[in-house]
Structure 1
């Protein structure tokens, strides 16, 4: 198999009429990828001609281009139904919610308002051209004799994470008001999606975003730190990645089950944390993310099928999850540099191991155990167990939590 790689020499089209803005774009692009092949033009008709005759890895265009505007160019590209969509950064002086709603269905990699911010532009280009978002339409290629096990071993350290379980465009539209993006509403729309949660927290804890060395452990804090523009662009960028949504029915069914298990664990963890005067949202996030590896594995199995690999859903999917799911999760949490405190809580949902445990770790262990119980069994035994004794909660409390 040939791994999914960024183009050796990416080719970029910049369609911008203003010379100063065009120069800024070229400077930033050169700083991010000095080897990039860059074509520039100042009006829409020429941009269409260049697109018709060249295979680009990224397009950066101004909505207000003379002749054919940037939005029309983006709309035409999306009508070609390329998979994955060609990354397209749309720029504009329009920052009203009506304009954003008009753009959303066309899934731009970013929507940047003018005047351009060099730092924001640099971060977006780094994500697209250095590592992060897909810029190649080529999917994985399965070499002769490549086994599913070997494929998964290779993909474990390159996985793009879990599939999206939330309709991002609907979430953004619901969060918009005349003043722009409402971060509180945005959080409510996105907080149940493991992939979005992990990526926002990872971005907020990056070196560029860190403030005072305080780790970001919740979606609400991540959104506040990143701000409206960067948060929306990061989330929209996730929709452009290969296999962002699962289309193979058996894989989608497995993903739904693991997602529901994550949601139950997260909700139990939040209620337990509130009961014990701990940090409910931190525990919620840990519960939501504890099955991230299983979801990421399912996404890689979809890549396998799209590349022509065969899959026995009754045996190979279950075996792969048992064998590789935990490893995928560990690799992702390390590679995305999720805060150690959050990783420790996630690990506690699987096993407490030896040593002294924090009360939040005990909460995560109890929440995961509760999520695995059927509706009418196990609470009595759980109440007699070591975790409940350490937390000093009994059967009445567990029954109340179960009913919520």
Structure 2
């Protein structure tokens, strides 16, 4: 397999399909990953060009993963085609029915992503001189045009530097519980946002939206959570390599975490939803992090970026990147309202939690010559009927 292999992923759930793609690219960065959402499209793709590997969901709509495998095995050229089947059917009868079709691997759902990654390393040996996850060459004339193109499809924020270590510890743990996962990942904006979005996906939707990591984790479960986090950690650009971008990201992360702490403390003091306020505070500036990640991609693809241009881009583009990200991931509307309130209060009716986020924004942007007590006349303080003495008890940074 000296040339770039083509890998076909047939998976209806976009979150699982994305995870599988990231695992493949972590093993073979030069692979061409083709994604389809039903068995009919997968079969049609194989008839046009046979891939080097198929990874299929056993419960695909229309032509399911088992029938897809059966159709492929009937063709004289495809008996040896590597085929990984992922199914929730683990009863003896289902396993016996599939065995004559000789799948390369039969994985139960939820599958263990780390074990699958090790299996993929055996099946997709690295090619000499392969471009390990190199981004495509630039086909645009300037940075502005590039950012216009990636804003609606970016991968979100990079990960905190300590997250890879937390992921490694959780994967090596025999049976991590949800409390350990929450403590390991609760301060990372990217993981928090992605897990909330996944918990609110159509496949897991249960009526009431999840608006915090504490609500999302029980719905996802330990195995699915670890799989999703591993998928984020192995992405080529999960960490920023440019020292300038990494330094800015560190400052943005610090502001996000301070915002989360202040919002949580204020909400708890006022008897409000402290977890929701923590989440909104943590995610309020995720657009800045997403933009920094896109700027790393721009440079990796050969684009130039000077300091003045970096300052201008961050000032003009961060808000739109954040808005596009929250909409694309379909974060709950109530959470998005609180994030918007961090920057300004709209006209009309808003919750007391929104007032807390607005006050948090004012506190974090307070000029150095002023003290929190100078905000006693602020609109949010008045509407909250806040005791000015409370502002003097604000926990130190």
Determine the structure 1 residue equivalent to 2:370. Answer: 377
- In 1, the alpha carbon distance for the partners of 2:289 and 2:359 equals 22
Q: Does 1:165 align with 2:153?
A: no
Contact 1:289 1:346 in 2 (8 A): yes
* CA pair 374-140 structure 1, distance change in 2 beyond 3 A: farther
Q: Does 1:400 align with 2:396?
A: no
- In 2, the alpha carbon distance for the partners of 1:166 and 1:377 equals 33
Determine the structure 2 residue equivalent to 1:13. Answer: 53
Structure 1 position 166, deviation (Å): 4.6
* CA pair 384-30 structure 1, distance change in 2 beyond 3 A: farther
Determine the structure 2 residue equivalent to 1:141. Answer: 137
Structure 1 position 73, deviation (Å): 6.4
1:188-199 matches, cutoff 5 A: 188-199=183-194
Structure 1 position 62, deviation (Å): 7.7
Contact 1:270 1:280 in 2 (8 A): yes
* CA pair 70-222 structure 1, distance change in 2 beyond 3 A: closer
Determine the structure 1 residue equivalent to 2:39. Answer: none
- In 1, the alpha carbon distance for the partners of 2:279 and 2:131 equals 31
Provide, for residues 288-339 of structure 1, a one-character-per-residue CA deviation record: whole Å limited to 9, x for no partner: 0111111000000000000110001x21112111111111111111111111
Q: Does 1:278 align with 2:315?
A: no
* CA pair 315-277 structure 1, distance change in 2 beyond 3 A: same
Contact 1:262 1:289 in 2 (8 A): yes
* CA pair 357-22 structure 1, distance change in 2 beyond 3 A: closer
Q: Does 1:324 align with 2:365?
A: no
Q: For structure 2, list consecutive stretches of 5 or more residues without a partner in the other structure.
A: 1-31, 36-44, 84-103, 108-115
* 1:209 aligned counterpart, secondary structure: coil
Contact 1:161 1:332 in 2 (8 A): yes
Determine the structure 1 residue equivalent to 2:121. Answer: 74
- In 2, the alpha carbon distance for the partners of 1:160 and 1:231 equals 18
* CA pair 245-22 structure 1, distance change in 2 beyond 3 A: closer
- In 2, the alpha carbon distance for the partners of 1:80 and 1:284 equals 47
Determine the structure 2 residue equivalent to 1:290. Answer: 284
- In 2, the alpha carbon distance for the partners of 1:77 and 1:190 equals 32
Structure 1 position 14, deviation (Å): 5.9
Q: Does 1:40 align with 2:81?
A: yes
Aligned residues: 318
RMSD: 3.7
- TM-score (norm: length of structure 1): 0.69
Correspondent of 2:355 among 346, 362, 375: 362
Determine the structure 1 residue equivalent to 2:336. Answer: 343
